């Protein structure tokens, strides 16, 4: 099979893995000593770092052959798809060629499991080792690791890659056992624990061997089973706390040809994936807990609402906390106001050191006033009581989101 044909097959097969953002990677800048590549700047997968940089990655599978029979995976062993496999040298060549054309600034490499987990992991590590040692490649490398591979292979992967990921695949051990019988939830967690330990060792001792400076991430498939959003967010909370993950990615299940009867016929709404990302952001940067986002006065809220964002949904369930006084509220209280983000809250805290703020001052911060106004009071404004009616606010503020997915993979041969 020609290299171009392999590229077409294996780049397309990689699109189902969303855990390829490069946030947190060190910015290696090429110098006059001949090093190739840099992990800064902009460059065919596009993801976005927290500082807004667009990061372009060549996103590939080493092979879509696989020993495993995961019901939700199009590359499962029984799937009737066209198969292909790169050699280590071919992946290295493609990465360098795409970089020299200024199309990418790094590589995201995953693979189906072939021969054995150890053999597959050896091949992935060989790609990263060749790029770093033989070609002095200084761009970003993200390797998808195989949890059943030997610990020394995972350690070698961390020496060459900026970020490692082990996908927990599904939110519960029960679902994983039912849909991916060759995979084991406990073994995945053990592998994640080993990664955490090595990352912590490096951070504590700068003389320790280099290991995945951009940390580790994982991914959950959403909608392939009946797990509700409350359980998904609780699983995310657990893995964030236990393994200090940089990111948990949520990937909406895509129906596949010749699917198992255990899988749903239709995909979940993409809006559900978007709401889970919003809830995840609130837990990581706004001080919310999973329990807060999925409980109300009447009990559990199993699913996040699709018509409004999770922060607004929480605020409507807790009207007694509003309106918040912009001039006296703490940072934590301001972060819970719908429409106020971390940057706008920082600007409010800075501005009110010099003057009492009015409604017009908020407008100058370019916050979404229609969303903010019902939940705040200022020196010259107090929201009318009727404006705090949950039903009225929900009707006025609910609208389909046009927000994009966290990552978007562009076809190589459009």
Interval 307-364: pLDDT, tens? 999 999 999 999 999 999 999 999 999 999 999 999 999 999 999 999 999 999 999 9
Q: Which residues touch 207 (CB under 8 Å, ≥6 apart)?
A: none
Q: What is the pLDDT of residue 57?
A: 85
Sequence-ordered strand ranges (E) for 27-77: 45-48, 54-61
Angle at CA of residue 345, ends 343 and 346, nearest 5°: 65
Q: Tell me how crowded residue 310 is: count the other CB atoms within 10 A of its CB.
A: 27
ω before 306 within 30° of 0 (cis)? no
Interaxial angle between packed helices 270-285 and 310-317, expressed in degrees from 0 to 180 and rounded to the nearest 10: 70
Q: Per-domain residue ranges for the chain?
A: 3-216, 323-397
Helix (H) or strand (E) holding 222: strand 216-222
Tokens at 55, concatenated: 């990061």
What's the CATH number for 3-216?
A: 3.20.20
Q: What is the pLDDT of residue 198?
A: 93
Interaxial angle between packed helices 88-100 and 3-13, expressed in degrees from 0 to 180 and rounded to the nearest 10: 90
Q: What does the buried/exposed string (b/e) look like for 166-188 if buried means 16 or more CB atoms within 10 Å of the residue's CB?
A: bbbbbbbbebbeebbeebebeeb
Q: Which residue bears the tokens 């010099």?
A: 354
Which parts of the chain have pLDDT scores under 50?
Answer: 22-32, 37-43, 50, 401-408, 410-414
Kindly report the backbone phi and psi dihedral angles of residue 354, in degrees, each rounded to the nearest multiple of 5, phi listed first: -110, -20
Report the C-alpha gap between 266 and 45 in whole angstroms: 26
Q: What is the pLDDT of residue 298?
A: 61
Q: What is the pLDDT of residue 123?
A: 98
Tens of pLDDT along 9-42? 888 888 777 655 544 444 444 444 555 544 433 2
* Cβ proximity of 163 and 217 under 8 Å: yes
Report the C-alpha gap between 245 and 121 in whole angstroms: 21
* Cβ proximity of 108 and 14 under 8 Å: yes
The structure's pTM equals 0.85
| Sign of the torsion angle spanned by Cα atoms 6, 7, 10, 12 | negative
Report the C-alpha gap between 17 and 69 in whole angstroms: 17
């Amino acid at each position: 099979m020609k290299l171009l044909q392999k590229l077409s097959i294996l780049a397309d097969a990689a699109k189902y893995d969303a855990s390829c953002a490069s946030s947190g990677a060190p910015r290696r800048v090429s110098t006059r000593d001949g090093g190739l590549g840099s992990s800064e700047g902009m460059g065919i997968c596009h993801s976005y770092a927290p500082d807004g940089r667009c990061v372009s990655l060549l996103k590939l599978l080493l092979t879509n052959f696989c020993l495993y029979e995961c019901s939700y995976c199009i590359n499962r062993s029984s799937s009737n798809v066209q198969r292909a496999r790169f050699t280590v040298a071919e992946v290295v060549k493609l990465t360098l060629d795409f970089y020299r054309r200024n199309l990418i600034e790094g590589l995201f490499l995953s693979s189906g499991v072939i021969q054995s987990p150890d053999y597959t992991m050896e091949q992935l590590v060989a790609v990263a080792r060749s790029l770093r040692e033989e070609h002095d490649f200084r761009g970003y490398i993200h390797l998808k690791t195989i949890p059943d591979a030997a610990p020394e292979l995972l350690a070698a992967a961390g020496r060459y890659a900026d970020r490692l990921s082990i996908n927990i695949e599904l939110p519960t051990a029960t679902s994983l056992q039912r849909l991916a019988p060759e995979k084991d939830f406990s073994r995945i967690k053990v592998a994640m624990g080993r990664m955490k330990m090595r990352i912590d060792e490096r951070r504590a001792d700068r003389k320790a061997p280099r290991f995945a400076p951009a940390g580790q991430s994982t991914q959950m498939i959403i909608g392939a089973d009946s797990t509700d959003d409350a359980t998904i967010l609780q699983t995310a909370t657990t893995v964030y706390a236990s393994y200090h993950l940089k990111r948990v990615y949520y990937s909406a299940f895509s129906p596949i040809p010749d699917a198992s009867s255990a899988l749903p016929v239709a995909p979940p709404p993409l809006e559900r994936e978007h709401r889970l990302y919003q809830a995840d952001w609130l837990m990581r940067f706004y001080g919310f807990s999973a329990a807060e986002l999925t409980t109300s006065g009447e009990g559990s809220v199993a699913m996040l609402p699709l018509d409004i964002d999770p922060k607004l949904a929480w605020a409507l369930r807790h009207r007694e906390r509003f309106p918040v006084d912009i001039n006296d509220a703490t940072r934590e209280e301001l972060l819970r106001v719908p429409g106020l983000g971390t940057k706008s809250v920082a600007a409010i805290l800075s501005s009110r050191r010099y003057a009492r703020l009015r409604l017009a001052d908020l407008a100058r911060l370019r916050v979404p006033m229609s969303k903010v106004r019902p939940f705040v009071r200022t020196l010259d404004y107090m929201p009318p009581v009727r404006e705090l009616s949950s039903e009225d606010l929900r009707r006025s503020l609910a609208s389909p989101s046009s927000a994009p997915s966290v990552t978007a993979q562009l076809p190589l041969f459009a």
